[in-house]
Amino acid sequence: MVNRLGAAPTRVLIVEDNRDICENIAAYLEKHNYILDFAYDGISAMHLALTNPYDLIVLDLMLPGMDGLSFCQKLRTEAKADTPVLMLTARDTLDDKLRGFAAGADDYLIKPFALQELHARIQALYKRSHGNTDNLLTVGDLTFNKDTLQVHRAGRRVVLNPTGLKLLQRLMEESPSVVPRSTLETLLWADELPDGDALRSHMYKLRQAVDRQFASALIHTVHRIGYRIAEDEQ
């Protein structure tokens, strides 16, 4: 299934306690081949946001359990997630908008709104956060933007040093194939190889960043040959 934003469906979490609004959003966006999840309170929304790789979150301000401002603040400061957030609210004063942006929202849409405008803002936020989708590498829930050099897994930012970025880019470009050790060593050091097994050390650091905090490993060692990155281990 392909949508208009790229080669894969766009996953969106809709956080809204008004089920009529949710039904209207679903009826409109599903025609454009989005994958949608819904949460009707802030606590359920936080659980979904931390356990699923969303491309974007549409967030109502007034929610039971945890309001939208608190949700957004926790998402940014505690979960360290930078998934784009489009905030929905009936509050239209400048102070209200500034509080939303200060909490970490990326855009602000006032109720009542036209579904066409909601769709346009979702598209704009997606393109802004992902840049040129032709330069977006994806393996499972891991993405690498070659334009911005930003790496995300399951919606969370993965911070890598320049060496880690070089290794990850090559592995993702070749996925699911095995990249020989010699290819990776040449990538990093050309013909001046360092003493010892420096590549193993760099791969260990890369694994710590990409795999350690997640249930499944994407980076796999192929004994005596090299490394590969894929969802399934051969």
Domain end position, chosen among 100, 130, 160: 130
Residues 17 and 112 in one domain: yes
- Residue 38 and residue 143 share a domain: no
Taking the C-alpha atoms of residue 27 and residue 21, their distance in angstroms, rounded to an integer, is 10
The answer to the question of residue 192 being in a domain is yes
Whole-angstrom CA distances from 59 to 12, 19, 95, 129 are 10, 14, 18, 17
**Residue 31 maps to a domain:** yes
Number of separate domains in the chain:
2
- Is 234 within a domain? no
Q: Return the CATH number at 107.
A: 3.40.50.2300
In terms of domains, do 125 and 140 share one?
no
Query: Domain range holding 81?
Result: 11-130
Do 121 and 146 lie in a common domain?
no
Rounded to two decimals, the pTM is 0.57
Residue 160: CB atoms within 10 A of its CB come to: 19
pLDDT tens-digit profile, the chain (234 residues): 233 333 456 899 999 999 999 999 999 888 877 889 999 999 999 999 999 989 999 999 999 999 999 999 999 998 888 899 999 988 777 887 888 889 999 999 999 999 989 998 898 888 777 665 567 888 888 889 888 888 988 878 899 999 999 999 999 999 999 999 999 999 999 888 787 789 999 999 999 999 998 888 999 999 989 999 998 765
Examine the domain organization and report whether 24 and 120 are in the same domain: yes
Q: Are residues 22 and 74 in the same domain?
A: yes
Contacting residues for 115 by C-beta, under 8 A, at least 6 apart: 24, 25, 28, 29
Backbone φ and ψ of 143, nearest 5°: -125, 150
Examine the domain organization and report whether 32 and 45 are in the same domain. yes
Do 111 and 169 belong to one domain? no
